[in-house]
Amino acid sequence: MEKLSPMSFGIAGNGKVYRNLPVARLVEKALERGEGVLAENGALAVRTGKYTGRSPNDKFFVDTPAIHDTVSWGKVNVPISKEKYDAIKGKMLSYLQGKELFVFDGFGGADPKYTRRFRIVNELASQNLFIHQLLIRPTAEQLEDYTPDYTLIVAPGFLCIPEVDGTNSEAAILVNLEEHEVLIAGSQYSGEIKKSVFTIMNYILPAEGILPMHCSANIGKDGDTAVFFGLSGTGKTTLSADPNRALIGDDEHGWTDEGVFNIEGGCYAKCIGLEQEKEPEIYGAIRFGSVMENVILDEAGHPDYFDGSLTENTRVSYPVDFIPSAAIPGVGGLPKTVIFLTADAFGVLPPISRLDKDAAMYHFVSGYTSKLAGTERGIKEPVTTFSTLFGEPFFPRPASVYAQMLGEKLDETGAQVFLVNTGWFGGKAGTVPRMKLKYTRAMVTAAIAGQLNDVEYTRDPIFNLNIPKTCPNVPDEMLDPRAAWPDKDAYDAAARELAAAFQANFAKKYPDMPENIVKAGPCAK
């Protein structure tokens, strides 16, 4: 196996470099360096400091002539000059001089035809353990002749100077698509690493005819594949970890002409409110080798999954094979069912509705949810958000590139599409409990099994959605949101408010969308 030195990454000096340490050694190093503590369940518990979620205002793309016309520039994909990037990189490499470095060489993409090699250089052993568990782990033989396609250098202790470096804060995520590099500075939140890998894959896969997706995926005993789109906190991880189906992956996938493949080799699950009875697969996956972020421990080291005092965005990372029903390797056939997940804090969207192709395209590019507290810095309560493709911050190319590909995939496969509201029912958030997981699971199970294909539907006049009148193992009264509100006028007002938000977002972002797709959205004035 190649022995790496700091000079391998342009870092002067003779600091120690550890390459692909085994899990036990990474845990040992993290404890030795005071980066975290072992919880009673064996997981490494760390705190990420100021940054307990992604920092979207601190992400930049290096704007060069080679990639300029391929990126959708704007509020999400913000440019930074090559000169600023080079200056920050030089200072970061100087900062790392003489420090212990932890390197993980791994893979993104479980289908070997589309795999990319990612080298992650970490200042922290705990973050190296995180990405070791999140990406696809190579064999010793694969490491012998390993050459990275992309390199990520992660230094949370290096702080940018905004007025000098051209950043918005001391933190920065700098994506250099032309030079196949990413720099992550100032943030210890490990989600920035995995999402940087995802961003790169989302940029390169469409050129190969592959639709990259912010989704989870699982597969039944008969080989039927289902994919679950949704923003963080809408239930992708929870709903795809089904003991009766094999988990392909929980967050990032590619859809090829042959099927679906996991981009990752691990899972990154929210911990807030986690209960063994409700989510036994995830609960059982939190053990030695897992990394818990910002989970509060009591004096005996027991995690309190209901304590959100540091953040509501408490997280755990673990290898996908910590889930007993994991599909290894993470590949499946062509999807038969597509689920769009949303957590509606208004409590007005139906718990489940079926979408035709035009409606599917409308809701795919809309990407509605109520962004939940803690997922990003500054979010203290649910906020209505529209995130194109259910993951706008991670898709560098124009939205039309990905949307057109989805439409083609639906035409080719005939997959059934459903919109599932995992949020609130019978009232707004704060006035009623969130939708019971057992009912959401029952609806998803029925959709995947084809049990909703031939039932009677009713048309929602405000949202222009088809709502099933019955669903196995779900009370009929749990399917009609308006009927569940005590005050019907209040429901109508809240529903029209959300419908108007849909329309305003669509008109602003997609003024040239075909009329058939525009008409498939909410129609209330």
Rounded to 5°, angle at Cα 192 from 67 and 393: 50
Query: By the 8 A CB rule, do 39 and 300 touch?
Result: no
**291: phi then psi, degrees, rounded to nearest 5:** -120, 120
Q: What amino acid is encoded at 504 in this protein? A: A
Contact between 351 and 481 under an 8 Å Cβ cutoff? The reply is yes
The secondary structure of residue 180, as a DSSP letter, is T
Catalytic residues: 54, 195, 214, 232, 236-237, 251, 315
Distances from the Cα of 260 to the Cα of 254, 329, 414, angstroms: 6, 11, 15
Strands (E), 309-349: 315-319, 331-332, 335-342
How many Å apart are CA 387 and CA 348, to the nearest integer?
19
Structure tokens of 362? 């409308």
Q: How far apart are CA 124 and CA 106, in angstroms?
A: 17
Please tell me the distance from the alpha carbon of residue 333 to that of residue 449, in angstroms, as a whole number: 16
Under 8 Å between Cβ of 121 and 154:
yes
What is residue 31's DSSP assignment?
H
Distance CA 174, CA 88 (A): 9
| Interatomic CA distance for residues 176 and 88, integer angstroms | 12
Residues 6 or more apart in contact with residue 123 via CB below 8 angstroms: 96, 99, 101, 102, 154, 155, 156, 157, 158
CA–CA gap between residue 391 and residue 380 (Å, rounded): 20
**From CA 25, how far away is CA 29, in angstroms rounded?**
6
The torsion angles phi and psi of 96, rounded to 5 degrees, stand at: -80, -10
Q: In the beta sheet, which residues pair with residue 185?
A: 155, 172
Name residue 424's beta-bridge partners. 434
What is d(CA 218, CA 214) in angstroms, rounded to the nearest whole number?
14
The beta-strand segments (E) located in 92-161 are 101-108, 116-122, 150-155
- One DSSP character per residue, 231-286 reads -TTSSHHHHH--TTSEEEESSEEEE-SS-EEES-SEEEEE-TT--TTT-HHHHHH-
Whose tokens are 């100077």? That residue is 161
DSSP E strand stretches across 64-126: 79-80, 101-108, 116-122
